[in-house]
Amino acid sequence: MFDDLSGRLAGIFKDLSGQSRIRDVNIAETVREIRRALLDADVNLEVAKEFTRRVKEQAEGEAVLSTVSPGQMFTKIVYDELVRALGSKKEDLRMASVPPTVILIAGLQGSGKTTFAGKLAKYFKDKKQTPMLAAADVYRPAAVDQLKTLGGQIGVPVFSIVEKDAVKVAREALAEARRTACSVLIVDTAGRLHVDSDMMTEVSRIKDAVKPNEILFVVDSMTGQDAVNTAKAFHDVLDFDGVVLTKLDGDTRGGAALSIRSIVEKPIKFVSTGEKLDALSEFHPERMAQRILGMGDVVSLVEKAQEQYDETEARKLRKKLSSDSFDLDDFFAQLQQIKKMGSMKDLLGMMPGVGAAVKNMDVSDDMLKPVEAIIQSMTPREKADPDILNASRRRRIADGSGTTVREVNELIKNFEQMKKMMKVLSSQGGMAKAMQAMKNMPNMRRR
């Protein structure tokens, strides 16, 4: 799987190898090619658009690192976006504080629910848990037999009754799991070939009857775009907790894997890669992204170069501050740096001792836009020496940037404050004090 997409992306990055600097690259064209590759891999159109919009934004805002090529830089940017699209971090199953943990499996017929139920039972058994399977697909006798065969292979009890009442099976299975002190109850349900209301009603009733800790939606990744639509339909009714992608061993183009998270905003928790009982893995967004790109070494190379770059910049900045030559160009560069690193609030929130302070603060990236416009309307001399900014210069800058003189005045005040604040920061690490100062900056409030 993903072979086509991997190949296409590798080709795009390779085409960039003639360029030595990212500013020589036709970013728009490169991004268009990435979008085409994603669409050909059956990624949802909206997801592909948002993906490439973010790649473009980052490529344009990227600092020029002398030690990495544009192709490598793009690889890193696309890698980061893949990880994000796949859900950023691994998410575990929610286990009950008092066993048994109840896991409800839902999905269309043929998606691989029963096979997955067996695999999950084995997964828990391997973790020294005591799972039980419940056969709540009561319509086809073969379905119960299939589950019993799987249970037999791994030595896990399978609960079933003769009556064709799925809710009753689930309820009685739960009682049985409690009675026999099983730690996990996995409820396999019936699916239809298409989303239909009878099926949805039945799973909802099972959900109400056994109050599962975790509802897993199983989807066949070979069904591409349909997988995304089905996920949406199930999500609307069931509000499931996680997704299981099956048949990733087939010739799926990978679109479902890349789209589903963005569309239903629920994590992928497992992937299934074969008919055998051990063909199940927990889902790791980073590992999956690495598999798609097949370029883990490039990613870490760029990361290192970025760290080094940031260090050099920080050293330069400290020197500037101590020699008092920090000017509006540096101020601007700092703002760009902050923007590049992602949402300001997230960023500030990660700094030790700051998290709580910014929680209630209004910080938005948009507030930087007028600030940028103002600085860009200044002459190099004005940027280097803000002291020369008299009234007529300020008027001219306001007109040029589509702002008001008051905003220009505020910005210059903010700049002076930032300069002071950064001095404090670089001297004693007085982060809390700096945050307080920032909170009081007029331009830092929502506009």
Q: Choose between 111 and 417: whose C-beta lies nearer to ligand GDP.
A: 111
Q: Round to whole Å and give the CA distance between 261 and 320.
A: 45
* Residues 115-144, interacting with Mg ion (CB under 5 A): 143
Q: How far is the CB of 157 from ligand GDP (least distance, A)?
A: 19
Q: Choose between 189 and 403: whose C-beta lies nearer to ligand GDP.
A: 189
Q: How far is the CB of 149 from ligand GDP (least distance, A)?
A: 11
Q: Is 272 in the site for ligand GDP (CB under 6 A)?
A: yes
Torsions phi, psi of 89, nearest 5? -130, 160
From 191, 255, 285, 370, residue interacting with ligand GDP (rule: CB under 6 A): 191
The alpha-helical segments, DSSP class H, found in 265-404 are 285-293, 296-322, 328-340, 344-350, 355-359, 368-376, 380-384, 391-401
Select from Mg ion, ligand GDP, none the partner in contact with residue 290, using the beta carbon and a kind-dependent cut-off of 5 to 8 Å: none
Of 306, 308, 307, 286, the residue nearest 296 (C-alpha): 286
Q: Is 274 in the site for ligand GDP (CB under 6 A)?
A: yes
Rg (CA), the chain: 28
CA 397 to chain centre: 40
Q: Choose between 7 and 250: whose C-beta lies nearer to Mg ion.
A: 250
Q: Choose between 275 and 365: whose C-beta lies nearer to ligand GDP.
A: 275
Q: How far is the CB of 246 from ligand GDP (least distance, A)?
A: 4
Q: Choose between 5 and 135: whose C-beta lies nearer to ligand GDP.
A: 135
Cross-strand pairs, 188: 105, 135
Q: Which residue do the tokens 């109400």 mark?
A: 208
Select from ligand GDP, Mg ion, none the partner in contact with residue 160, using the beta carbon and a kind-dependent cut-off of 5 to 8 Å: none
Select from ligand GDP, Mg ion, none the partner in contact with residue 110, using the beta carbon and a kind-dependent cut-off of 5 to 8 Å: ligand GDP
Kindly state the number of chain residues that form the binding site for Mg ion, as judged by CB under 5 A.
3
Q: Choose between 179 and 276: whose C-beta lies nearer to ligand GDP.
A: 276
Name residues whose C-beta falls within 8 Å of residue 238's C-beta, 6 or more positions apart in sequence. Answer: 106, 200, 203, 204, 207, 215, 217
3-state secondary structure string, 242-290? EEEEECCCCCCCCHHHHHHHHHHCCCEEEEECCCCCCCEEECCHHHHHH
From 24, 196, 275, 311, residue interacting with ligand GDP (rule: CB under 6 A): 275
From 15, 57, 165, 249, residue interacting with ligand GDP (rule: CB under 6 A): 249
Stretch near ligand GDP under the rule CB under 6 A, chosen from 72-80, 126-134, 241-249, 352-360: 241-249
Classify 220 as helix, strand or coil: strand
Measured torsion, CA atoms of residues 218, 224, 228, 229, in degrees rounded to the nearest 10? -110
From 7, 18, 61, 250, residue interacting with ligand GDP (rule: CB under 6 A): 250
Q: How far is the CB of 329 from ligand GDP (least distance, A)?
A: 56
Count of helices and strands (H, E) across the chain: 20, 8
Q: Choose between 231 and 354: whose C-beta lies nearer to ligand GDP.
A: 231
Stretch near Mg ion under the rule CB under 5 A, chosen from 110-118, 330-338, 342-350, 394-402: 110-118
From 273, 336, 364, 443, residue interacting with ligand GDP (rule: CB under 6 A): 273
Stretch near ligand GDP under the rule CB under 6 A, chosen from 66-74, 252-260, 270-278, 322-330: 270-278
Q: Choose between 115 and 259: whose C-beta lies nearer to Mg ion.
A: 115
Q: Is 246 in the site for ligand GDP (CB under 6 A)?
A: yes
Q: How far is the CB of 147 from Mg ion (least distance, A)?
A: 7
Beta strand 214-220 with 242-246: parallel, antiparallel or unpaired?
Answer: parallel
Of 379, 385, 361, 375, the residue nearest 410 (C-alpha): 375
Stretch near ligand GDP under the rule CB under 6 A, chosen from 59-67, 154-162, 245-253, 299-307: 245-253
Q: Round to whole Å and give the CA distance between 393 and 374.
A: 12
List, as one string, the DSSP characters of 80-117: HHHHHHTTSS--PPPPPSSSPEEEEEEE-TTSSHHHHH
List, as one string, the DSSP characters of 145-159: HHHHHHHHHHT--EE
Stretch near ligand GDP under the rule CB under 6 A, chosen from 208-216, 243-251, 408-416, 424-432: 243-251
Q: What is the helix (H) or strand (E) element at residue 54, kind and residue range? A: helix 45-61
| 182 within 8 A of 132, measured Cβ to Cβ | yes
Q: Choose between 274 and 386: whose C-beta lies nearer to ligand GDP.
A: 274
Q: Is 114 in the site for Mg ion (CB under 5 A)?
A: yes
Kindly state the number of chain residues that form the binding site for ligand GDP, as judged by CB under 6 A.
18
Count of C-beta atoms within a 10 Å radius of residue 7: 12
Count of C-beta atoms within a 10 Å radius of residue 98: 6
* Residues 83-142, interacting with ligand GDP (CB under 6 A): 107, 109-115
Q: Choose between 190 and 408: whose C-beta lies nearer to ligand GDP.
A: 190
Q: Round to whole Å and give the CA distance between 35 and 403.
A: 36
Interaction site with ligand GDP (CB under 6 A): 107, 109-115, 191, 246-247, 249-250, 272-275, 279
Interaction site with Mg ion (CB under 5 A): 113-114, 143
